Structure 1
Amino acid sequence: MSAPNKSYDPVEVEALKPEAVERARDEALAAIAAAGDLDALKEVKAAHAGDRSPLALANREIGALPPHAKADAGKRVGQARGVVSKALKERQTVLEAERDERVLVQEAVDVTLPHDRVPAGGRHPLTTLMERVEDVFVAMGYEVAEGPEVEAEWFNFDALNFHPDHPARTMQDTFFIHGERPQEIDSGSAEGESGVVLRTHTSPVQIRSLLDREPPVYVVCPGKVFRTDELDATHTPVFHQVELLAVDEGLTMADLKGTLDHMVQALFGGDGMKTRLRPNYFPFTEPSAEMDMVCYVCRGESVGNPDRPCRTCSSEGWIELGGCGMVNPRVLVACGVDPEKYSGFAFGFGIERMLMFRHNVEDMRDMVEGDVRFTRPFGMEI
């Protein structure tokens, strides 16, 4: 093994020569001073202070020197690197200050500009109308009730007196949730179906309200419902309903009629607004009826009057609004309510349909496409 080379002259190492170290230092200082922004300074730092910079490579050469030569070379290179590092920090401070001043100028906000240059947004008219309906019934002493949109078939069908072979339970009308049917759900589901559906109406909320509360029960149930309809001018697979349920002692069809009259007067204005009931059938009400309201435009004066036609009601004088009736005793029994002691009434209608009536909206697709040109005219009503 050879002995250490004590006669090795460090000046012969090119990277450690004083003039080479000074040249690398001066080049680094010049590049730092020329950096015009922080990105350029970042590139300079990598080139002149990084692991592959000339001064860093020179520092690595010190380890190969004999012991008596390392101190002088280390001092020379270390001083140069210290000067470069200090220059980098000072230049970064200057560039950051310049950037902050530039941002303040470029992103300045002129508070003297008109505040209404950008039009205000608007709440969706469906939301506004649904809340207005809620307010009408809350003022009458009703409670707003809500329920899940993904519902068990028992709540959506069985408890409402829909028989297992009812057409509404088929895939033609109902979105079924795919999966294995739980053992505790005893419904009319076909084998392989989960017994869980996207609710087809808000009536399941009425069932849950009767199960959770002791009569008397007065609730209004707004919400989103789902049916397998194609999206067109008058249909949509996702729409909104509001249903009302009142269960108490001694309620009759007269109470239902008075409630409907008050509703249309509050929503469509005027003491001349009234309703009529036409016999119909619904599994969950008995007797059942379709509810019509007098046309709020012509107030029935267009009937038989060719000189004053009405586009809103097609000169029929009445507009169909929704279904209603007295709660079927079977529904009360399913919810544990004594039908011998209590009676009740219910009705429901679509919010989209009412919006079309109130504001002459001709295409239901306008309500779901999110075009601000549709929602903006309704304003910011709260």
Structure 2
Amino acid sequence: MSGPNKSYDPVQVTPLNAEHVEAMVAEALAAFAAATTVAELKQARIAHAGDRSPLALANREIGALPPQARKDVGQRIGRARGEVNQALKTREAEVTAAELARVLVEERVDVTLPVELTPQGAVHPITALMDRMCDVFVAMGWEVAEGPELEAEWLNFDALNFIPDHPARTMQDTLFADPADSGVVLRTHTSPVQARSLLTRELPVYVVCPGKVYRADEYDATHVPVFHQIEGLCVDKGITLAHLRGTLDYFAQAMFGDTRTRIRPNYFPFTEPSAEVDLQCFVCHGASVGNPDNPCRTCASEGWIEWGGCGVVNPRVLQACGVDTDVYSGFAFGMGVERTLMFRNNAEDMRDMIEGDVRFSRSLVGGAR
């Protein structure tokens, strides 16, 4: 601010004369009129009505005038600033209304359209496939049986004819609950549910047992330490291996469509005779066998793919559960649910099934219907 001016000459103080004040007002009004958005108007307000605007700086010069000149100049600057502020207020209302109208048009939403308020999940393919498997047997008149995942060692091994020094009973394969001699394990298969069914149900027994099982396995593309099995048990009068074969054929066709099965000898403590169930390769249908010019990666040109185990229930298992083996006989089978899902949907990595990505579930749940 300049010092007192005792010899005031209005011509020499240019920012305060009428022509210059009118020019500042005209410049401000033109800037306001040119602004078409709230942001542009804000910049114009700072330039022409802010603390460093020409009118604000001119207003500070009034104090440097002699007393006899302050009244007229003060009124002139006051009227100018009032005109600018009023024009700014009017333009703000116009620009705000115009911008609101534009936003309402450009960002209009049809509220009558259906919307997804929350992200949708999906039934996990393993769950969906186990339900589908159970439905196949429920339609045949079987029952669904379930049991605890923390199981008594007697039901998991002894009742199923596993000898005391069987390799499967070591910590290398089985997860024992603390302490190690507690006689309680995380079940290694769903077969204990079959033993529980024989102990608690009236004969005949037709049950299918889905559930989670635990093994001390490596974690890789084809093995996980926690996976799912489904097992079936039929105990009735006159049951033979032919009944087992017919059941497996029907089950395989329900899972994979037009396919064939075969059984080949194997060994399981809880069945005698025992067998492995193979599916005809659903890619080459056996055409790659003995044909080096047309190999099949799915079945390694063998024409068959291993699916699960089966057999006639060992009489020792029936006797351990109080079943009269002179009157009753039965068959049992078991398959891995993850393995079945991989066959049905061409899934390559079992780890994808447990990582919780909903996109994986959405992509496979249709095939596990």
Is TM-score (shorter-chain normalized) higher than 0.5? yes
Query: What SS does the corresponding residue of 1:177 show, helix, strand or coil?
Result: coil
Post-superposition offset of 1:230: 1.9
Amino acid at match of 1:305: N
Query: Percent identical across equivalent pairs?
Result: 72
Tell me whether 1:345 sits opposite 2:331 in the alignment: yes
Identify the residue that residue 201 of structure 1 maps to in structure 2: 189
Q: Deviations over 1:83-130 (max 9, x none)?
A: xxxxxxxxxxxxxxxxxxxxxxxxxx9743552587632111111111
Q: Deviations over 1:123-158 (max 9, x none)?
A: 111111111111111111110000000000010000
Contact 2:345 2:364 in 1 (8 A): no
Q: Deviations over 1:300-355 (max 9, x none)?
A: 22223345433322222111001100000000000000111100000101001111
Give the TM-score of the pair, scaled to structure 1. 0.65
Query: What SS does the corresponding residue of 1:178 show, helix, strand or coil?
Result: coil
Contact 1:312 1:357 in 2 (8 A): no
Identify the residue that residue 249 of structure 1 maps to in structure 2: 237
Identify the residue that residue 60 of structure 2 maps to in structure 1: none
Post-superposition offset of 1:298: 2.3
Amino acid at match of 1:231: Y
In structure 2, distance between residues paired with 1:310 and 1:140:
35
Larger mean Cα displacement after TM superposition, 203-212 or 372-381: 372-381
Structure 1 runs of 4+ aligned residues shifted over 6 Å read none
Contact 1:122 1:378 in 2 (8 A): no
Identify the residue that residue 335 of structure 1 maps to in structure 2: 321
Post-superposition offset of 1:297: 2.5
Query: What SS does the corresponding residue of 2:296 show, helix, strand or coil?
Result: coil
Gaps of 5+ in 1: 1-108, 180-191
1:208-357 equivalences in 2 (<5 Å): 208-270=196-258, 273-357=259-343
In structure 2, distance between residues paired with 1:161 and 1:365:
33
Larger mean Cα displacement after TM superposition, 290-299 or 370-379: 370-379
Q: Describe the shift of the 1:172–1:121 C-alpha distance in structure 2 as closer, same or farther (beyond 3 A).
A: same
Identify the residue that residue 4 of structure 2 maps to in structure 1: none
Identify the residue that residue 103 of structure 2 maps to in structure 1: none
Identify the residue that residue 61 of structure 2 maps to in structure 1: none
Amino acid at match of 1:266: A
Query: What SS does the corresponding residue of 1:288 show, helix, strand or coil?
Result: strand
In structure 1, distance between residues paired with 2:141 and 2:293:
44
Amino acid at match of 2:253: Q
Post-superposition offset of 1:372: 2.2
In structure 1, distance between residues paired with 2:152 and 2:111:
56
Query: What SS does the corresponding residue of 1:303 show, helix, strand or coil?
Result: coil
Tell me whether 1:139 sits opposite 2:125 in the alignment: no
1:171-190 equivalences in 2 (<5 Å): 171-179=171-179
In structure 1, distance between residues paired with 2:254 and 2:172:
36
Contact 1:246 1:346 in 2 (8 A): yes
Gaps of 5+ in 2: 1-108
In structure 2, distance between residues paired with 1:233 and 1:378:
17
Amino acid at match of 1:320: E
Identify the residue that residue 164 of structure 2 maps to in structure 1: 164
Amino acid at match of 1:268: F
